[in-house]
Structure 1
Amino acid sequence: MEYLVVSLMFIVFLQTRFVELRRATLCLALQSALIAAACLVVGMSHGSGLHAWLPGVLTIAVKVLFIPYAILRVVNQLRDEREIVSDINVNYSTAFAACSMALGYMVIDGLLPQAEGRDILATSMFMIMTGLALIVMRSRAIMQMIGLITLENGIYLLGLIMTEGLPLIIELGIFLDVLIAVVILVILTSRLRLSFKTTDTNVLDKLKG
């Protein structure tokens, strides 16, 4: 599990360095694959049967395959190369991610001293704050979607470790909510591209009265 945590941290850090939307989307798929692996490890270690493997399979189906595929379809429709590459200085988001990692350990050590799974809990906090930073600091709608899924992965990982496996009905509800949210966001991003010829959400400021 330690190797999984280190790999997850590395992938999230790497995600903050990407400005090319295709690479960022593939990085999100890899991040979700690690979350799926964590689901399978936790599920198999606390029981057997449907509840042990279904969350991991759903994570692979929804977050590793469907969501990246839906995002990549939107990216492939972008004709202007400037739309595919973000123009932000990535050093800001990477610096924030480093601070988030340190803050995550400080929060966990302060609230749950000597807790089991300290590294996993800190990693989930790190993912939540990094996902929030991507939503706030990036202007491309697709990068904001990637930040939203990263944030949700962090929340899911936190709940998974704290409860040693969420109840099946709650897990199904979470996946359904995420699936609906991503479908709506993909549709809105496509409409944004068609209406304004860009996926930069800053153009929405023009709609202010």
Structure 2
Amino acid sequence: MIRVVLADDEAMIRAGIWAILATDPDIEVVAEAADGREAVELVRAHRPDLALLDIRMPRLDGLSAAAELRAAAPDVAVVLLTTFDEDEYVARALAEGAAGFLLKAADPRELILGVRAVAGGAAYLSPRIARKVITRLGGDRLARAEAARRRLDRLTPRERDVLGGVGRGLSNQEIAAELHLSEGTVKAHVSAILLRLGLNNRVQAAILAYEADG
């Protein structure tokens, strides 16, 4: 069971998201919050698998809440909900440890897919946001690809295999099955990759893998 704390300052939005998540028997919303401060307190109290946070909330916004949770509850994955015109916040959110970004206007199936992916250890960016992120990175794409490949030279062949799976949005379990490894070994490789490349989370790793592919 994937246990979720949901936070959005609009009651109707919370009700709609809750209803969508309730259609999946493997997802349970254990608490809901109307602001970021309450969300942090509920996550500390319930220790869910995942916190689903709106970016814009009173008292404490989703980005600041993600930063607090990174320190207070690093085992809880954070997924941010955003509207299409807020994608400029993605870079900051990556630094705060968010593992996923979902659009409120997206297909409801994408919400469930994103929650399941992140809960399974994968990173997830709504496709429309992913394209924006890559575009906003700027610079010559070929130069960025070459720079990314040079960074990947620091990895062992097996670590590059694992990073390839991360780049395709696979969970640790899926990577383990594909590479015939244990899930624990994959987790260890992911931790080593993040440390060796100076990355904060799987989303950054996925973007780097994307860039390396040119």
TM-score of the two chains, using structure 2 as the length reference: 0.30
More strand by share: 2
TM-score of the two chains, using structure 1 as the length reference: 0.30
More helix by share: 1
Give the structure, 1 or 2, with the largest relative contact order (CA under 8 Å, sep 6 or more). 1
